[in-house]
Structure 1
């Protein structure tokens, strides 16, 4: 579904990503972790066909960036950004429907079909916000907005789902509700590949299968989550002694007395 080979990304003369290689297969649910400034959002933008690599190749759903119409390609990618720049009081239903047009606001002179409205309602129910389907964006909590944006990303039946720190600004209860929702999405869409960016291991859903650790624009480790999210590798990535535990499918990071690994 996604393959990056020896990717460099340079902006304003600064190397933000260096020699990054990553492969995501169908149905794999990846976590992308690293400290601030590691290049996580930059990498996610490449995966979402928002930017192009300076060097190396990026193939998304079998199509290489630079040789394909990216507008068409983006139709197969669901992108969830909790900093969604909507300012008008659209209802959740209207917000979900904007996922069909790839716009922030409802497109002028565009009307959804009855089937499209029905599909939007189905996704709103799946995400657990049916009671708010007609509520305006301006009155929603951050957690409700997050679930609405996931429904918006899913309405175009994407093959790849990208989530950029989806639990940003959530309290612990809203965070847990959102993570449960992501597990439900993966259970109902088993073929869907996904990448979730976060700083915190506690924000990973139990359905996470793979992980990549990024530091200073380089991949420290990538592979099966249980092999990558270890005390040694996470400590090296964050340059701070961090001990990793896993209970009931969830990860926990705590300060460790282990020496720093260089």
Structure 2
């Protein structure tokens, strides 16, 4: 049980019977789960499962058609969103940044939430020290003055984590953070994300990915989605099983762990019955 649950503290994120429709199409149907402080969640599922929409609720970017979404103790629809978003760090490797700013300056822009070229404000000495500490923490020590365009894609990904952390958020959202990285850059990034459980023990995080191999070793919980519905949610060990993942992806996949890292392999000869009726309802109860 989460320490927050035991202490009776409110979740960082709580979705209750959330449905989202676009026109006549139902994107999400009756989604419910809660994230507490210090937990590190993964949103897993095939393309079109609804992962990005769920992340939009968690980031206070969209409102549900029905149901309730509470973010950092505030209910969407009853709170000023800009103020709420300042307590949420968001990492998106597709960030359209083509800035000539230095790495340190890019990290500092996380304090304002916008890219200013050049910086039109003077950071305080404390803010500069904090930026440099985060740069070192994310494995980029010595690159503070390097220009953004000269950084590799992997370095940019870690820099965006530092940028998201500089405002000291309560929640960190990572939207497919390893997209486009080679194996070395991917592993460096995953090590950086995994270190959050020690460097920022109160921080809650949510990672969106299609691939179990791209989950950081710190992953404690997961939501497995299929066609806009939850197949299973809860502790990662209970959710990321051969049976559940095979059903979600409509293909027999053997799931396992090596240490604290997950792997998935095609297993066409011994997969579960992927057409089992009422599978989602059974697993969700």
TM-score in terms of structure 1 length: 0.97
Trace 1:116-135 onto structure 2 (pairs within 5 A): 116-135=127-146
Give 1:142's aligned residue.
153
Give 1:39's aligned residue.
50
Unaligned 5+ runs, structure 1: none
Q: How far apart, in 2, do the equivalents of 1:242 and 1:50 lie?
A: 33
Give 2:106's aligned residue.
95
Trace 1:64-213 onto structure 2 (pairs within 5 A): 64-106=75-117, 109-213=120-224
Q: How far apart, in 2, do the equivalents of 1:110 and 1:249 lie?
A: 43
**Structure 1 residue 108: Cα displacement:** 5.9
* Structure possessing the higher relative contact order (Cα contacts under 8 Å, 6 or more residues apart): 1
Q: How far apart, in 1, do the equivalents of 2:85 and 2:118 lie?
A: 17
Q: How far apart, in 2, do the equivalents of 1:59 and 1:26 lie?
A: 14
User: Residue 60 of structure 2: which of 49, 52, 56 is its match?
Assistant: 49
**Structure 1 residue 259: Cα displacement:** 4.5
Give 2:278's aligned residue.
none
- What SS class does the counterpart of residue 134 from structure 1 fall into? coil
Unaligned 5+ runs, structure 2: 1-11, 276-285
**Structure 1 residue 36: Cα displacement:** 0.4
Q: What RMSD over aligned residues (CA atoms) do the two structures have, in Å?
A: 1.2
TM-score in terms of structure 2 length: 0.89
Q: What is the count of residue pairs matched by the alignment?
A: 262
Give 2:225's aligned residue.
214
Asked if the contact 2:105–2:119 (Cα under 8 Å) also holds between the matched residues in 1, the reply is no
Asked if the contact 2:17–2:68 (Cα under 8 Å) also holds between the matched residues in 1, the reply is yes
